[in-house]
Amino acid sequence: MTIPIEIFLFIFLLVIAVAVLRMTDLFAAAMLTGLFSLVAAGLMLLLDAVDVALTEAAVGAGISTVLILGTLSYTEETEALMRRSWLPLVIVGVTGAALVYGTLDMPHYGDASAPIHQHVAPRYLYESESEVGVPNIVTAVLASYRGYDTLGELTVIFTAGVAVTVLIGAPRHRRDRRPKGDKR
Q: Min. distance of Cβ 72 from other proteins in angstroms? A: 9
If the CB atoms of residues 63 and 116 are measured against other proteins, the closer one turns out to be: 63
| Of 85 and 130, CB closest to other proteins | 130
**Residue 125 engages other proteins in binding (rule: CB under 8 A):** no
Which among 54, 28, 59 is positioned nearest to 42, based on CA atoms?
Answer: 54
Q: Is 95 in the site for other proteins (CB under 8 A)?
A: no
Of 36, 38, 8, 39, residue with least CA distance to 23:
36
CA–CA distance, 24 with 80 (Å, rounded to integer): 8
How far apart (Å, rounded) are the C-alpha atoms in residues 9 and 36?
Answer: 10
Q: Which one among 91, 92, 106, 151 touches other proteins, defined by CB under 8 A? A: 151
* 114 makes contact with other proteins (CB under 8 A): no
CB contact at 8 A, 20 and 36: yes
* Shortest spacing between CB 163 and other proteins, in angstroms: 10
Q: Select the residue interacting with other proteins from 157, 175, 180, 183 (CB under 8 A).
A: 157
SS3 172: helix
Interaction between residue 178 and other proteins (CB under 8 A): no
Asked if 25 is part of the footprint of other proteins (rule: CB under 8 A), the reply reads no
Give the span between the Cα atoms of 143 and 150, in whole angstroms: 7
Which residues have C-beta within 8 Å of that of residue 122, sequence separation ≥ 6? none
- Please report whether residue 63 would count as binding other proteins according to CB under 8 A: yes
DSSP 116: G
Stretch touching other proteins by CB under 8 A, among 88-96, 98-106, 117-125, 131-139: 131-139
Question: How far, in Å, CA of 6 to CA of 8, rounded?
Answer: 5
Binding footprint of other proteins, residue count (CB under 8 A): 46
Residues at the contact surface with other proteins, assessed by CB under 8 A: 50-51, 54-55, 58-59, 62-63, 66-67, 70-71, 73-74, 130-136, 138-140, 142-144, 147-148, 150-151, 154-155, 157-158, 160-162, 164-165, 167-172
